[in-house]
Chains A and B, each alone.
Chain A
Amino acid sequence: MDPVTLFSIIKGGIVLGALYALMATGLSLVWTTLGIFNFAHGAFIALGAYVAWQFSATDAFGWPLALGIIATSLVMFAIGAFLHLTLVKPFERRSDVVLITVITTLAGSAILENLLLVIWGPRSKQIPKMAEGELAIGGFHLAFSEIILLVLVLAILVGVGAFLRYSRPGRAMRAVSQNREAAQLLGLNVPMYFALVLGLSAVTAGLAGVFIGTIRFMNPAMGSEPLMKALIVVIFGGVARFSSPIYAAFIIGLLEAFSIYFVGLYWAPAVLFFTMIVVLLIKPEGLFGKYQRTL
């Protein structure tokens, strides 16, 4: 393998990893806080892409992309909070909430995806690129849009991480995730924090969708593959810390990039799923996990 190929594989893996990190963070945030697995996360990704397209595409509203991203975040936050109220909250006090919400979020995802189809039609769309041009040093190519993507993703992840660690609402959110009853007894507004978490998770998913929409063509089912990847990442890394799925995302991104090179585009996902099953068999709590359900 020559250095240029190796560089482009690693570059591809890191870009994938960054996207996966963004998607997996939202998923694990909900899992650790609400204790549920949100199968509508993939639909959030697609929805984010379509909403951003509506704001920013030249044949729609045509706003600048940065403004479109901010507006998309607001919309996604509202939708995430709304889904919490309709699909999760009615079961909060049931012992089988995990399994019930698997079903409701799956159904919610089907509703969202088909609504996308109804509203925007089946035709593929694309969001304008974040930047044109590329950085070329010798044979090594790095597109500006890829650099912007990496910087933005890192900024978002660092921002969310710092929010959880240092801000008072962030700490309260972690407290709520670790012991719901004790948090209530300290006067924390638990339902509000739950809605906040789902809103935040929807925002990260929506942003991931926007980034994917700038790279690939969009269709209403575009979220299901990223959802599976996010699932692999979360299982692979575990959710012991905020950072565990992020490390895992980059490992999986690189693994995927190398698999594509060695076994081809078709078989690469099979390698990932096989890895996930093996991890579940050997270390169900994830590679970096010791304890489940904490943030």
Chain B
Amino acid sequence: MRYDPPIHKTQGLLPLILAFAVLVLFPFVFEATYFRHVLILAFVFAIVATSWDLSLGYGGLFNFAHVALFAVGIYTYAILAKTLGFSPWLSILAGGGTAAFVALLISLPVLRLDGVYVILVTIAFGQLIYLVVVSWSDVTGGTSGMVTLPTLQIGDYRLSKDGRIGYYFLGLGLLAANLAFLYYVTRSRLGRAAVALRDNKYYAIARGISEARTRALTLMASAVFTGIAGAFYAAYLRVASPDAFGMGFLTLLLSILLVGGTGTIWGPVVAAFAVSILSEWLAGFGAWQNIVIALAIVLVVVFYPGGLWAALQELREVADNLRSSAIARLRRRETATREAMTSAQERMLQTSHGLISVADTGDADKPALLLLHGNSACKEAFHKQFRSFADSYRVISFDYPGHGVSANADPEQSYNISAYAEIAEEVLADCGVSEVSIFGWSLGGYVAMELTARDSVTVTALAISGTPPLNMVPDDFGRGYNPDSHLVLSGKQYFSRTEATNYANSATAPISEESAFLHRNLRRTDGRARVYALSRLGVIDWPRQMRILSEGKIPFAILNGSDDPFLNHDYIARLKYGNIWRGAPQDIPNGRHAPFFNQPDHFDLALFAFLEHARSLDMARQA
């Protein structure tokens, strides 16, 4: 059910294109060779750090020989291009090949090990490679290394000419290719398998993922561009020295990775630029340069282990929270418009989960009917029912926290089904209602069942729509719903414009003058409410809800849209219900996920008939 759209369908595309454009234009605006030099180094560090992140962040394999893979690229270039006289361009490609081969060798001892032992064996491997390089001085030049390596040229044009502009664009091109490669790998079968192994090794293996193969391929994939970057680095600086194995370089890369944030591609890229510029700037301070960089690592890991990328996400969340709660506050003033839609009185109620907007037709002598709305919707979705049921019922509805004009609340505490049920209890208590009929739509259906199961108010009738009752969560999720529908969006925090329209079209009604307010309301919903409601399914005792339905003590009806795109109707029909109205789930002809909205006449008739049925049962019982 994980929803992970390709980048061109998300909001990440624009910043990416902008950043790339800035980097392309940069050398034409700032012509100083020094700036280009710093950026070329940043490109190299970004390639090595992001590649490392593939094995470390995504694969959970702490390969501390990664720096050695970079050195392998350097020496491959030096030996092939200088000693053996191969074409420098081929030697650069060969750097990727040899690094991948060495990664394969590294993966052999790693296959059997876990945790800190992976670190130890890869450190040993890195040292082994270092010692071979230093000791085999006939070939590698030993501790003094190799100098005056061949430079890169296209025809007769040397890339170092014109203020190294050729190297600048080659480096940028390599970075872009590396990012495309990583993007592809992380979204491929291999990338998903690596993440699965990292998160739950034994489960992943039980599902048929080969640990050995995935580990070996992950390490090799992380080595290819590392080796190429090493060869490029050697061609650019024209030296190969064993310094590349040193702790200084390792610490620098580690700081890029950690400051940027592991497990993401883009965080380390951003950090590579920040850290290289900082590091260059500190170069004049001798030993203090390393102290500051190491201190940065410690501070980030101690206080903010997620790094720069997590900070950006968190800031975005803060901004989005401010945006959505500001909209809610503004719209709260338009009470009259909403009261005109529902003909009910609206008021704000302070609950234990924050300020909640309640609509109530207020006839205390009529039986109460509570309407519970769905994910990312609002109480006005029921405005037609407010009108048609107000004659015989006291209709009550409210906006969940983070929805409609209710306030945003603490996501940990308030954005889950059980909290919504608690709010419903508080709202009913405030209305002085102790006996109630409930209709729950979609997410509201689960709230309705939870409220019934909690047994603090007397539920005289329970109707749900667009809600497959669940027994085993999350397994039944895949059975009860159609995972190919736009339902996959229901747990997504931020909607792009297309996604918002898609979701509102499927969940409520295709956009029209009549449904425009629902579409507008969707953009107001606190995105965290979607994420938390879906990730806190564990707070619910699902079998208890199912027991309520199978025991059949409470009159119960299912009123689904026959064309509901989200539902698997077979699953709903297969479940055992103790006492379901008319013996089976009822379909509203041509109804979609919100049948009460697009087929109000049919729906109202059905709901009315069910409520009457429940009342007659109740009267029979009392008599």
| Residue with the highest number of chain A CB atoms closer than 10 Å, among B112, B119, B134, B291 | B291
Instruction: Tell me the chain B residues, 288-330 only, with Cβ under 8 Å from chain A.
Output: 288, 290-291, 293-295, 297-298, 301-302, 305
- Contact pick for B291, options A86, A111, A267, A277, CB 8 Å: A111
- Find the B residue at minimum CB distance from A235: B120
The answer to whether B288 touches A118 (Cβ under 8 A) is: yes
Question: Which B residues touch A135, using CB under 8 A?
Answer: none
- Contact pick for A269, options B113, B127, B248, B250, CB 8 Å: B127
Give the secondary structure class of B's interface: helix
Knowing A99-B62, A107-B251, A118-B287, the reply to whether A284 touches B117 (Cβ < 8 A) is yes
What separation, in Å, do the CA atoms of A114 and B127 have in the docked complex?
21
The answer to whether B127 touches A104 (Cβ under 8 A) is: no
Question: Which A residues touch B62, using CB under 8 A?
Answer: 99, 102
- Find the A residue at minimum CB distance from B252: A110
Task: Output the least CB separation between A56 and chain B (Å).
Answer: 24
The answer to whether B135 touches A266 (Cβ under 8 A) is: yes
The answer to whether A273 touches B131 (Cβ under 8 A) is: yes
The answer to whether A266 touches B287 (Cβ under 8 A) is: no
The answer to whether A86 touches B115 (Cβ under 8 A) is: no
The answer to whether A98 touches B115 (Cβ under 8 A) is: yes
- Contact pick for A114, options B254, B255, B290, CB 8 Å: B290
Knowing A235-B120, A266-B135, the reply to whether A110 touches B290 (Cβ < 8 A) is yes
What separation, in Å, do the CA atoms of A284 and B131 have in the docked complex?
23
The answer to whether A107 touches B295 (Cβ under 8 A) is: yes
Task: Output the least CB separation between A87 and chain B (Å).
Answer: 7
> A64 an interface residue at 8 Å Cβ cutoff?
no
The answer to whether A277 touches B109 (Cβ under 8 A) is: yes
Question: Which B residues touch A274, using CB under 8 A?
Answer: 128
What separation, in Å, do the CA atoms of A111 and B287 have in the docked complex?
9
The answer to whether B301 touches A100 (Cβ under 8 A) is: yes
Residues 117-138 of chain B, each 1 if its beta carbon lies under 8 Å from chain A, else 0: 1011101110110011011000
Task: Output the least CB separation between B333 and chain A (Å).
Answer: 46
The answer to whether A108 touches B298 (Cβ under 8 A) is: yes
What separation, in Å, do the CA atoms of A231 and B124 have in the docked complex?
9
Task: Output the least CB separation between B296 and chain A (Å).
Answer: 8
What separation, in Å, do the CA atoms of A104 and B254 have in the docked complex?
10
> B247 an interface residue at 8 Å Cβ cutoff?
yes
Knowing A110-B290, A280-B124, the reply to whether A103 touches B116 (Cβ < 8 A) is no
Knowing A98-B115, A99-B115, A114-B290, the reply to whether A270 touches B128 (Cβ < 8 A) is yes
Question: Which B residues touch A273, using CB under 8 A?
Answer: 124-125, 127-128, 131
> B427 an interface residue at 8 Å Cβ cutoff?
no
What separation, in Å, do the CA atoms of A153 and B258 have in the docked complex?
39
Task: Output the least CB separation between B195 and chain A (Å).
Answer: 16
Give the secondary structure class of A's interface: helix
Instruction: Tell me the chain B residues, 238-256 only, with Cβ under 8 Å from chain A.
Output: 247-248, 250-251, 254-255
- Find the A residue at minimum CB distance from B106: A277
Question: Which A residues touch B295, using CB under 8 A?
Answer: 107, 111
Instruction: Tell me the chain A residues, 61-115 only, with Cβ under 8 Å from chain B.
Output: 86-87, 90-91, 98-100, 102-104, 106-111, 113-115
Task: Output the least CB separation between B519 and chain A (Å).
Answer: 43
Knowing A110-B251, A118-B287, the reply to whether A98 touches B305 (Cβ < 8 A) is no
What separation, in Å, do the CA atoms of A276 and B254 have in the docked complex?
25
Question: Which A residues touch B305, using CB under 8 A?
Answer: 100
- Contact pick for B124, options A103, A111, A232, CB 8 Å: A232
Question: Which A residues touch B247, using CB under 8 A?
Answer: 106, 109-110, 113, 221, 224
Question: Which B residues touch A131, using CB under 8 A?
Answer: none
The answer to whether B120 touches A106 (Cβ under 8 A) is: no
Determine the interface band of chain B, counting residues with CB < 8 A from chain A: 35 or more
Question: Which B residues touch A100, using CB under 8 A?
Answer: 301, 305
The answer to whether A117 touches B120 (Cβ under 8 A) is: no
Task: Output the least CB separation between A289 and chain B (Å).
Answer: 12
Instruction: Tell me the chain B residues, 137-180 only, with Cβ under 8 Å from chain A.
Output: none
What separation, in Å, do the CA atoms of A107 and B294 have in the docked complex?
5
The answer to whether B251 touches A106 (Cβ under 8 A) is: yes
What separation, in Å, do the CA atoms of A210 and B250 have in the docked complex?
28
What separation, in Å, do the CA atoms of A269 and B132 have in the docked complex?
10
The answer to whether B298 touches A277 (Cβ under 8 A) is: no
- Find the A residue at minimum CB distance from B126: A273
The answer to whether B298 touches A107 (Cβ under 8 A) is: yes
- Find the A residue at minimum CB distance from B142: A266
What separation, in Å, do the CA atoms of A211 and B500 have in the docked complex?
70
What separation, in Å, do the CA atoms of A230 and B291 have in the docked complex?
25
What separation, in Å, do the CA atoms of A232 and B124 have in the docked complex?
8
The answer to whether A115 touches B291 (Cβ under 8 A) is: yes
Task: Output the least CB separation between A101 and chain B (Å).
Answer: 9
Question: Which B residues touch A113, using CB under 8 A?
Answer: 247, 290
> A228 an interface residue at 8 Å Cβ cutoff?
yes
The answer to whether B117 touches A280 (Cβ under 8 A) is: yes
The answer to whether B298 touches A231 (Cβ under 8 A) is: no
Task: Output the least CB separation between A230 and chain B (Å).
Answer: 11
Task: Output the least CB separation between A91 and chain B (Å).
Answer: 8
> A281 an interface residue at 8 Å Cβ cutoff?
yes
What separation, in Å, do the CA atoms of A271 and B77 have in the docked complex?
27
> A37 an interface residue at 8 Å Cβ cutoff?
yes
The answer to whether B132 touches A270 (Cβ under 8 A) is: yes
What separation, in Å, do the CA atoms of A258 and B134 have in the docked complex?
20
Question: Which B residues touch A99, using CB under 8 A?
Answer: 62, 115-116, 119
Instruction: Tell me the chain A residues, 139-176 only, with Cβ under 8 Å from chain B.
Output: none
Instruction: Tell me the chain B residues, 471-515 only, with Cβ under 8 Å from chain A.
Output: none
The answer to whether B127 touches A284 (Cβ under 8 A) is: no
5 nearest A-B pairs in the assembled complex, by CB-CB distance: A110-B294, A266-B135, A114-B287, A107-B297, A107-B294
Can you spell out 20 A-B residue pairs with CB atoms less than 8 angstroms apart? A86-B298, A91-B302, A103-B258, A104-B298, A106-B251, A107-B251, A107-B254, A108-B298, A114-B288, A114-B290, A114-B294, A115-B287, A118-B287, A228-B127, A273-B128, A273-B131, A274-B128, A277-B121, A277-B124, A280-B120
